[in-house]
Amino acid sequence: MVAGGDGTGKRDWRPFVYGGLASCVAEFGTFPIDTTKTRLQIQGQKLDQNHATLKYRGMVDCLLKIGRTEGVAALYSGIWPAVLRQATYGTIKFGTYYSLKRIIVEHNNGKESVTVNLCCAVIAGAVSSAIANPTDVLKVRMQVQGSHGNVGLIDCFKDVYAHEGISGLWRGVSPTAQRAAVIAAVELPVYDFCKSHLIKTFGDNIANHFVSSLFASLGSAIASTPIDVVRTRLMNQRKLKKTGGPFPAHIYTSTSDCFIQTFKNEGFWAFYKGFIPTLFRMGPWNIIFFITYEQLKKLY
């Protein structure tokens, strides 16, 4: 039987539903850490000729300062576009991955390989993230504004559309799709590989799912953080539709320009800003997701 599938019909809808539900549960449980990651990633950018001062010294300092100065609710700024994103992104990503893999494996006489898993993961990650990109843009904008923005999901959408047009909702789509493809290419095959090899030791139970998800989280965090930094910075950059220029200052013209300027102005390690909260978020997120997903499979 294919890991993650259930061995039934080719049009089985369950991987899509389970993936969406488990993704939403995991998002609620780890969102404050994601907010700290976003805040850490945007600080230190070079605006005009002056370096912005660093407001946060790390994940814990960021959590405490946001809670103290903006209120605990600010840690959940952007939660609804994030949940909406998982309801679309998570549903398409995991459903596509497990469905594609099952179809290919069935046509390959039940033989599963790392190459097949890798290809299915890349396709599922890139396609699902591109479709869900507008919700990601809204989430990043609301996380950066925190309590100071004081706008809801609909107001944030109207603001982006009014000032930047429909293209503003797909800002950063290229690095977003690349990041999702990298995460999926590492996370899903690693999880399936670890799970299948740990069955002899733990069996197909929560202990196995817990350990497998930890290995998957570490690999995907290392591989995806540089792309995530660029993606976050591009999404946070506003480009006014009427003036034709970014606001408040011209920063990046493209994904490659963002990579180059970040490296030139801040050095290599700037690409790993927010790595600790990324890892601390991916770990619990994947644990919650995969355990929830596996339990849903067993329940139904």
Q: State which amino acid sits at residue 19.
A: G
Which residue segments constitute the domains of the chain, with CATH numbers given? Answer: 14-299 (1.50.40.10)
User: What confidence score (pLDDT) does residue 48 get?
Assistant: 43
Alpha helices (H) in the chain, listed in sequence order: 14-42, 59-69, 79-85, 91-107, 114-131, 133-149, 153-164, 173-202, 206-236, 255-266, 275-299
DSSP letter, residue 52: P
pLDDT, one tens digit per residue, over 125-138 is 999 999 999 988 88
Distance CA 293, CA 140 (A): 26
pLDDT, one tens digit per residue, over 182-196 is 999 999 999 999 999
Pairing mode of beta strands 50-51, 46-47: antiparallel
- Picking from 30, 255, 232, the residue whose alpha carbon sits closest to that of residue 133 is 232
User: What confidence score (pLDDT) does residue 204 get?
Assistant: 92
Distance CA 116, CA 105 (A): 8
Give the chain's end-to-end CA distance (angstroms, integer): 16
pLDDT, one tens digit per residue, over 246-295 is 444 447 888 899 999 999 988 999 999 889 888 888 899 999 999 999 99
pTM of this prediction?
Answer: 0.73
Is the distance from CB of 93 to CB of 184 less than 8 angstroms? yes
